[in-house]
């Protein structure tokens, strides 16, 4: 299956988000009813630095394959628990280029802006889970596995089971960086 496994949101600034039967994506804003909805930054640390910054983190997507990898390492994680709005399967989210557009369901479009930079709150799910999603390669390169962030370009409703179509941006392609 290539598509949406689960959708989640939270009206409060909580780390985990409750699963829903559907979410509505609003162009230029994010997930209707989610604490991170808005044109400007909503993550508290970013608001404290500069509340006028554009919100490049309107929608958080995580690949369900990460949950499989974490389960093999002894962690148990459910959709929404790591704060994502959309849990996907069958798409290499981390390998997408900056500016890739994902068509979710019948009409919603999310443009990928970058990688999620995981924080220590992940250890609240399980001790040392952060080290499982933020690794360092022998050459010192940091690998961030906790999903990608995006902005809503076209409004629409997204439900579990919806297909996802990937549209690569025009060349040249740029790898994802933390946002």
pLDDT tens, position by position, 60-108: 999 999 999 999 999 899 999 999 999 999 999 999 999 999 999 999 9
Neighbours of 98 (CB within 10 A): 17
The domains of the chain are located at 3-167
DSSP state of 114: E
Match 């459910």 to its residue by tokens.
78
3-state class (DSSP) for residue 123? helix
Q: What predicted TM-score, i.e. pTM, was given to this entire model?
A: 0.94
Q: Domain 3-167 adopts which CATH fold?
A: M1 Pyruvate Kinase; Domain 3 (2.40.33)
Structural tokens at position 94: 């981390």
CB atoms within 10 A of CB 45: 8
From the first residue on, what is the mean pLDDT of each consecutive set of 10 residues in the chain (179 residues)? 94 93 98 96 85 95 96 93 96 98 97 88 70 83 92 98 98 96
Rounded Cα gap, residues 18 and 49, in angstroms: 28
Alpha helices in 40-164 (DSSP H): 44-49, 64-72, 130-133
Side by side, which strands form the sheet with 30-31? 30-31, 23-26, 156-158
CB 32 within 8 A of CB 11: no
């Amino acid at each position: 299956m290539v598509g949406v496994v689960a959708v989640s949101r939270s009206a409060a600034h909580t780390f985990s988000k409750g699963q829903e039967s559907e979410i509505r994506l609003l162009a230029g804003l994010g997930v209707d009813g989610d604490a991170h909805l808005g044109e400007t930054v909503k993550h508290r640390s970013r608001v404290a630095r500069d509340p006028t910054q554009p919100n490049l983190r309107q929608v958080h997507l995580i690949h369900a394959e990460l949950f499989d990898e974490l389960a093999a390492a002894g962690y148990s994680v459910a959709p929404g628990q790591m704060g994502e709005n959309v849990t996907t399967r069958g798409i290499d989210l981390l390998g997408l280029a900056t500016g890739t557009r994902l068509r979710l369901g019948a009409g919603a479009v999310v443009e990928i802006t970058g990688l999620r930079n995981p924080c220590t709150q992940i250890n609240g799910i399980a001790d040392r889970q952060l080290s499982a999603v933020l690794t360092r390669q022998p050459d010192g390169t940091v690998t961030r596995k906790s999903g990608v962030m995006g902005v809503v370009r076209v409004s629409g409703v997204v439900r579990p089971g919806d297909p996802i179509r990937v549209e690569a941006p025009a060349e040249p392609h740029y790898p994802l960086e933390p946002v």
